[in-house]
Amino acid sequence: GQIQAFIDALPKHPLHSHGLINAPKVLADVVESTVGAVFIDSNYSMDKTWEVASDLLEPIITPEMLEKNPVKKLFEICQKYKLKVKLVDLWSQEGTYKVFVNNQLSGKGTCREKKEIALNRAANHAYKEVVRRMSENILS
């Protein structure tokens, strides 16, 4: 089901994926209920709750691991090199976003469950394509 699909997607995307993968809501619910239980059991102590929650999250995500949002990264590199970006929203029809850079299809992302994930996937693909084209000097 959803959890297995999430597990299968993890090797393809870092944990700080900015929505490139769709985490099942049940996983967020487990973390939320655990933190809530600690908060209540610690007599509503934010300090104790943060101590437990930060220990829980620290091995997974640290500030150094965080990257910029894929859409932001794409727009920053395109602005720096004066490249024109066009986002095409086909989400309501196909669950898809397309990204054109200088009128060339550079990225496509699909996720029928969440529009933001489709957009982030498209921007991520486009960013990688722009970098590839720049390294090969084929961006016009």
> What is the β-pairing status of strands 96-101 and 85-90?
antiparallel
Q: What's the mean pLDDT when you consider all of the chain? A: 85
Cα-flanking dihedrals φ and ψ of residue 59, to 5°?
A: -65, -20
Rounded Cα distance between 140 and 134, Å, is: 9
Alpha carbons 72 and 87: distance in angstroms, whole number: 13
How many CB atoms neighbour CB 20 within 10 A?
A: 19
State what percent of residues in the chain have pLDDT above 70: 79
Stretch 2-18: mean pLDDT, rounded? 67
Give span(s): CATH 3.30.160.20, the chain.
Answer: 70-135
70-135 fold: Double Stranded RNA Binding Domain (3.30.160)
Judge whether residue 116 has pLDDT over 70.
yes
Q: What are phi and psi of 104, to 5 degrees?
A: -110, 135
Say what the pTM is. Answer: 0.61
Res. 17 pLDDT band, cuts 50 70 90: low
The yes-or-no verdict on residue 32 having pLDDT over 60 is yes
Question: Do 6 and 23 meet the contact criterion of CB atoms below 8 Å apart?
Answer: yes
Tell me the average pLDDT across 104-121: 95
Side chain identity, residue 20: L
